[in-house]
Amino acid sequence: MLQCQNYIGGQWVAGATGELFDSINPATGEVISVAPRSGPEDVARAVAAARAAFDAGDWPRAGGKVRAAAIRCFAQRLREHSQRLAELLTRENGKPLGASLGEVLYAADVADYFAGLARTISGEASRPSGQAVSFVFREPVGVCALIVPWNFPVSLSVWKLAAALAAGCTVVLKPSEHTPAIVMEMLTPFDGVAGLPKGAVNGVTGFADTGAELVRHPDVDKVAFTGSTRTGKSIMAAAAETLKHVSLECGGKSPNIVFADAPMPKALDGAVWGIFRNSGQVCTAGSRLLVQEAIYDDFVSALLERTARIKVGEGFDGDAQIGPLISEEQMARVLEYIEVGKAEGARLLCGGGRITTGPLAKGYFVEPTVFGEVDGRMRIAQEEIFGPVLSVFRFRDDEEAVSIANDVPYGLAAAVWTQDLNRAMQVSERIKAGTVWLNTYHLLHPEHPFGGYKQSGLGRELGRHGLEEYLEAKHVCLDSSDVFDISRDRGRKSGK
């Protein structure tokens, strides 16, 4: 069993009160780690370390070259430790080992991307009037609290960490209470990175109250959060007290729209893995499948046949395609939604229960579940379930598809499957979502912005937009009449 500690000012330290909590392997119920339940004293120490590194340290003023080298060194160490980190991720989160390894390597790639961006930060200069010369400098926002969930604990931490460090910010990272060990272990590669001062990167483990303490702290300048919409709203309200910068990546209920001319079997794969990847615990999960009526019956029967072949298993089982849900509580929530769907009159087409036989009975495994003939007013059509539960809708034409797609409070992602390019572009323009995939699903690149419309969030991560979230714009205006001889300049222009 791992003994986690907080990472503050470049030191691994115990929590101030000595209170600890367990993280659990969701496939077996076994305890994986104990971690400090950090309170106000731990948060104050971590914020003070980040504040000192920002206000008095070199990091915010180090050039892009120094910052890029440090972030790239971290990326390289992530790669060197990828197998060990992937195994821990699988033990603590439950996902298949191949997916864990992919997540760690992808995180290293994201870090490399932001290392490159660190060298591109530049401002502007202009002469807005004859007298004035203006400079616009881009400066780091300051001390950032990074609060992350458990579903992609490594990659979602690095999305924030690498962008914040590239901008010159210092950070305090707060992992989910379900995945403290993997996130704190992921911070060990920062130990001794050349050019990175102690205190630039800090991490504290704990529950919601630890995160709330960070959000309240007056010396934190920005909160970058990924998690549920409910928590996002409370963070935004709490951050208003000290008017902090806030960026929020929240929940989703993404439509996956299959037109009758969709490319097959790609669209079928997209429908299955759009929802069931990571056991449905993906913010962009294609949890609402919209199928055009001409192909509805055939498509749904092929979908059920494919779903029945999904191999659910423990993450170290080489054949497993999806693992358990993260916790007993999350499993209970998902099973309750399945009961709600049945009670609302949706047709349960497959799955619908916990796996209670064989070795999986001791973990939090739920069968891949499909509901047909779902009505837009049902709770399973409107609310984020965050589990392996798909709601299928029938639609007539483009108009009806767009109307169903937009009829939820969320706007994180969507997909359109068709071979008609005009239709693909027209429908994607009308969908209110931060990402629209055409004839694919779940494809993200470090280069392109990711974020939500409506109640799916505020701000963007990844890409240049992701870096911008950690930068201020400062205007420095110089009266240049003593610097440049304006009268002589005018004289030359008028030919005197």
- Indicate if the alpha-carbon torsion angle 316, 322, 326, 328 is positive or negative: negative
Site for ligand NAD in 323-382 (CB under 6 A): none
228 near ligand NAD, rule: CB under 6 A: yes
* Cα dihedral 360→365→369→374 (10° resolution): 160
| Alpha-helical segments (H) within 134-207 | 153-167, 180-187
| CB-nearer residue toward ligand NAD: 147 or 267 | 147
Dig out the tokens for 479 from the structure.
């009266």
Dig out the tokens for 391 from the structure.
């709601």
Give least dist CB 226 to ligand NAD, A.
Answer: 5
Dig out the tokens for 155 from the structure.
């990659």
Q: What angle do CA 449, 451, 455 make, to 5 degrees?
A: 160
Give dist(CA 331, CA 1) in Å, integer: 24
Binding mask 148-177 for ligand NAD (x = CB under 6 A): xxxx----x-----------------x-xx
22 near ligand NAD, rule: CB under 6 A: no
Can 249 be counted among the known catalytic residues? yes
| CB-nearer residue toward ligand NAD: 73 or 239 | 239
Could you say which of 103, 249, 314, 461 is catalytic? Answer: 249
| CB-nearer residue toward ligand NAD: 120 or 242 | 242
Q: What's the 3-state SS for 163-215?
A: HHHHHCCEEEEECCCCCHHHHHHHHHHHCCCCCCCCCCEEECCCCHHHHHHHH
Site for ligand NAD in 64-93 (CB under 6 A): none
Give dist(CA 394, CA 373) in Å, integer: 7
Q: How many CB atoms lie within 10 A of CB 18?
A: 8
Could you say which of 73, 169, 250, 283 is catalytic? Answer: 283
Site for ligand NAD in 427-486 (CB under 6 A): 452, 457
The span of 7-15, 94-102, 141-149, 469-477 binding ligand NAD (CB under 6 A) equals 141-149
The gap from C-alpha 38 to its chain's centroid, in whole angstroms, comes to: 23
Is residue 384 within 8 A of residue 372, CB to CB? The reply is no
Give dist(CA 20, CA 206) in Å, integer: 9
Site for ligand NAD in 244-263 (CB under 6 A): 249-252
| Percent of the chain as helix, strand, coil, to the nearest 5 | 40, 20, 35
φ, ψ (nearest 5 deg) of residue 411: -160, 55
Question: Which of 70, 200, 235, 258 lies at the binding interface for ligand NAD (CB under 6 A)?
Answer: 235
Can 339 be counted among the known catalytic residues? no
| CB-nearer residue toward ligand NAD: 101 or 208 | 208
Binding mask 279-318 for ligand NAD (x = CB under 6 A): ----x-----------------------------------
| CB-nearer residue toward ligand NAD: 6 or 231 | 231
Question: Which of 19, 84, 131, 207 lies at the binding interface for ligand NAD (CB under 6 A)?
Answer: 207
- Which amino acids are annotated catalytic? 249, 283
Interacting residue ranges for ligand NAD, rule: CB under 6 A: 147-151, 156, 174, 176-177, 207-208, 211-212, 215, 226-228, 231, 234-235, 249-252, 283, 384, 386, 412, 452, 457
